[in-house]
Amino acid sequence: MYSKYFGFSDLPFTIAPDPRYLYLSAQHREALASLLYGINCNGGFVLLTGDVGTGKTTVCRCLLEQLPASAEVAFILNPKYSITELLEAICDELKIPYQHSRSQIKGYIDALNAHLLDAHARGINTVLIIDEAQNLSLDVLEQIRLLTNLETSSQKLLQIILIGQPELLDKLARPELRQLDQRITARYHLNALSRTELAAYVSYRLAVGGSDAPLFSRAALWRLHRLTGGVPRRVNIICDRALLGAFVERRGKVGWGVLARAAREVRGQQAKPAPRWRLAVLSVVLLGLLLGLVFWYPGGPGAGLAEMVPAMPAEVQASVPALAPAAPLDPPLPQEAPEPVPEPAPQQAPEQTPAALPEAAQPTSPPPSSPANWQWPEGTDLAATEPLAYQALFRLWGIEYNPAGAPVICQFARLHNLGCLLQPVDLDELLKLNQPAVINLVNGVGQSFFATLIGVEPQAGLARLNIAGELRSVELAELRRWLRNNQLVLWRMPPGYQMPLRPEARSALVPWLDAQLAWLQGRTPVAGRGEHYDQDLQLQVLAFQHHYQLVTDAVVGPQTLIQLSSLTDADIPLLTATEAAEE
């Protein structure tokens, strides 16, 4: 229902275990590595456990997509079987013919052993994966242990992966199962997402669904983690309902209130409304803001500040409060006095946009100052700094952005072949991307506002910002101190990009990817390169990711593409010039 409104190509918060939506946090990558180890190791058990909804089955589905051709898998989803029924299910999965028997299991074991010997002779590893293994009875678990006795003189014929909830750990700790417990060669337990991981998880699913916009406010994400404990399945259910609520109310993003209402609908009485004393405090705060706006409205001390708003459409300028930093806590320095903003130059061709101009043609940076002293009059609506920051960011790409006409940021970006990447990371990770960004800052009196990071001078240790149309310079150490971990980066989507490219997938992105890597390596692109993301290209991507200190997983997503484009595309705005781009 809300897909078209937010620009989704697919619903981002489905609870089906779709491998495309697997967010590979550090612990999920380790879990996937444990399962891959289970396929390649010589016999034994691999154990993956986690609470309900932490992503165990989704990790397993992702594993199945990455299996080599030399592996065959029996995947048991419903383990509430007797011993005979389980053996029949395994034979059915492996397409092994057998004669049905209710009392004798020897026929099943013999048929399975013959099949495993034949597969081993053909160089094929056979893997048995049992999901929801906590539901297995003690007798069935013991029979599964006996299956590992099927072996040659030098190698086990069957690798077994057990996936289950924490109760499985309690069951395996029982004395009668100690032999099975001793045969477990690798164990991993999936925990819920941390607050930082949850923000990245939500952003990732939005991006895969087709919208990189930051559709959840910082307060909403904080509330979401508190309500769900970071359990992905709970997150998906509440986020889906919250997006529906935002659509019904025609909002551009999910705020704290929309998310709280969605949680109450999903969880019933568990999500209680805010106490009355909180509502009373909120009313007082809103009244204070209203009085502040009245005091600073044109004719009062804030008159004339509207001139600071750069090139805003008249209908938008009328609805956005005028912004300008107030005097700092310390006596104001001459260099911190705001200067009038010149009228914007006429629209130029892309190659002559500010982002493409040489450094000498860039505006002179003012002397550095501290964000602690960038303050606004009390009562100013600082939320209005966010659309101004987006407007400045789009201008670096040679695009005029009208907040009133396109309130959904990343939907507007996609119309211009740009993607959005919401990065809940620190400054060092942001600088590694080397592209302008909208950042969230806080000053010395706790005011939160938005700015556009437009340039960095690494040798001088300085950053250049655009704040409500005014250029400011700040030391990187000071910026790191006052920066909040929510930044949005625009990036150019290459031809054929729809979603992150995973190993062995097929995509129109593959020929472009090979051409860019070939240019960096000084080689000729592979002639007749198809759309198959094969092992040779995966190895090149892994080497690229390792060299630039990215997540080394061979998945070609926004961060890898941003790094690649910054080296090969001379027409995109950068924070600092790269050597490859200069050549």
Domain with CATH 1.10.101.10 in the chain: 509-582
Cα–Cα separations (whole angstroms), residue 503 to 36, 65, 384, 391, 533? 14, 9, 42, 37, 6
Predicted local distance difference test score (pLDDT) of residue 336: 34
Predicted local distance difference test score (pLDDT) of residue 362: 47
Predicted local distance difference test score (pLDDT) of residue 346: 37
Predicted local distance difference test score (pLDDT) of residue 295: 47
The CATH code for residues 194-273 is 1.10.8
Q: In 3-state terms, what secondary structure has residue 470?
A: strand
Quick check: 214 and 420 in contact, CB under 8 A? yes
Predicted local distance difference test score (pLDDT) of residue 463: 93
Domain with CATH 1.10.8 in the chain: 194-273
Cα–Cα separations (whole angstroms), residue 107 to 129, 150, 278, 324, 517? 22, 14, 69, 83, 55
Amino acid identity for residue 367 in this structure = P
Instruction: Write the CB contacts of 316 (distance below 8 Å, at least 6 apart in sequence).
Output: 387, 402, 403, 404
Instruction: Write the CB contacts of 130 (distance below 8 Å, at least 6 apart in sequence).
Output: 76, 79, 136, 144, 160, 161, 162, 163
What architecture is domain 304-492?
A: Alpha-Beta Complex (3.90)
β partners of residue 151: 156
Q: Does domain 509-582 have CATH number 1.10.101.10?
A: yes
Residue reference for tokens 């790094």 = 563
Predicted local distance difference test score (pLDDT) of residue 191: 87
Domain with CATH 3.90.70.10 in the chain: 304-492
Query: Per CATH, which fold does 26-190 belong to?
Result: Rossmann fold (3.40.50)
Going residue by residue through the chain, which has 583 residues, state the pLDDT in tens, using 9 for 90 and above.
678 778 787 888 888 877 778 777 778 878 887 777 766 666 678 888 888 888 888 788 777 777 777 778 888 887 778 888 888 888 988 888 887 776 678 888 888 888 888 888 888 888 888 888 888 888 888 888 888 778 776 777 888 888 888 888 888 888 888 888 888 877 888 888 888 888 888 988 888 887 777 789 888 999 999 999 888 889 999 999 999 988 888 888 898 889 999 998 887 644 444 455 555 555 555 566 555 544 444 444 333 323 333 334 444 344 334 444 433 333 332 333 333 333 333 333 333 333 333 333 445 668 889 998 988 888 788 888 888 999 999 999 999 988 777 667 777 888 888 888 876 567 888 888 888 999 999 998 888 899 999 999 988 899 999 998 889 999 999 998 898 867 788 988 888 888 888 888 888 899 999 999 999 988 888 888 888 888 889 888 988 888 888 877 788 888 899 889 888 888 889 998 765 444 4
Domain with CATH 3.40.50.300 in the chain: 26-190
